[in-house]
Amino acid sequence: MRFFAASLLLVLPLCAQDKGGRRPPGPPTNLKVLKVATGPEVIQIMRTYTAALGVKCDHCHVQGNFASDDNPKKEIARHMIAMSTNINTNFLDGKVHVTCFTCHRGDVEPKLAPEAKPAAPPGL
Ligand code: HEC
Ligand code: HEC
């Protein structure tokens, strides 16, 4: 729902400018790693990214232009998508076991080790 509210704000100025503005989102024009064809499919995947990293769309995107590659985080994310696909194809059953969330757990920077726990009581 929040996306649709946001897209209204984006689409209005775009309509005045060029072909880009459509509701629901039009087909993607600049995909280099994802293998999907429609706007709604892309948006569904993007929602998994925002949830996995605990960020908003503009962490990886230039505000108001999703096709632009000017935000360097987008290219990092492309590497992450390719890396995740690579990890999954190396599982014996070929199924998806690793997603962005598996590592990120709602954080931009995944943890390397568990949070420090209080020291064990003496005698244990
Ligand atoms: C973690 C980074 C990241 C976040 C967060 C993210 N995106 Fe993306 N987005 C990407 C990447 C990377 C691509 C390009 C994928 C490719 O090259 O196959 C992309 C592509 C897109 C595209 C296709 C643009 C085109 O025309 O090619 C749309 C639309 C889009 N994102 C919308 C969103 C929306 C809406 C959100 C927030 C709900 C969002 N993105 C959040 C990384 C992100
Ligand atoms: C195997 C673990 C792992 C998986 C899976 C993974 N990431 Fe990451 N990601 C990391 C680590 C570790 C970092 C921090 C080091 C770095 O930036 O290279 C990171 C950093 C990033 C960053 C840069 C963060 C910033 O703002 O500085 C983005 C964006 C990102 N990941 C997106 C994704 C997306 C999208 C996916 C799923 C397609 C994903 N990651 C899957 C481990 C992972």
Query: pLDDT at position 2, please?
Result: 57
Contact (CB, 8 A) for 4 and 44: no
* Each residue's pLDDT tens digit, 11-62: 444 433 334 444 678 899 999 999 999 999 999 999 999 999 999 999 999 9
CA distance 40 to 44: 6
Distance CA 50, CA 59 (A): 9
Query: What are 107-121's pLDDT values in tens digits?
Result: 999 999 998 888 887
CA of 72 to the centre of ligand 1 (A): 12
Residue 42 CA neighbour count, 13 Å, CB half? 18
The amino acid that residue 35 corresponds to is K
Taking CA 36 as the corner, what is the angle to CA 33 and CA 68, rounded to the nearest 5 degrees?
A: 55
What is the mean predicted confidence (pLDDT) over 58-70? 97
CB 54 within 8 A of CB 108: yes
- Cβ–Cβ < 8 Å for 9, 26: no
Distance 91 CA to ligand 1 centre (A): 26
Give the closest ligand to the alpha carbon of residue 73: 2
Indicate which ligand has the atom closest to the C-alpha of 82: 2
Give the span between the Cα atoms of 19 and 100, in whole angstroms: 32
Residue 78 Cβ contacting ligand 2 at under 6 Å = no
CA of 106 to the centre of ligand 1 (A): 17
Kindly report, residue by residue over 71-100, the tens digit of the pLDDT: 999 999 999 999 999 999 999 998 999 999
Q: What is the pLDDT of residue 3?
A: 55
Q: Residue 12's pLDDT is what?
A: 45
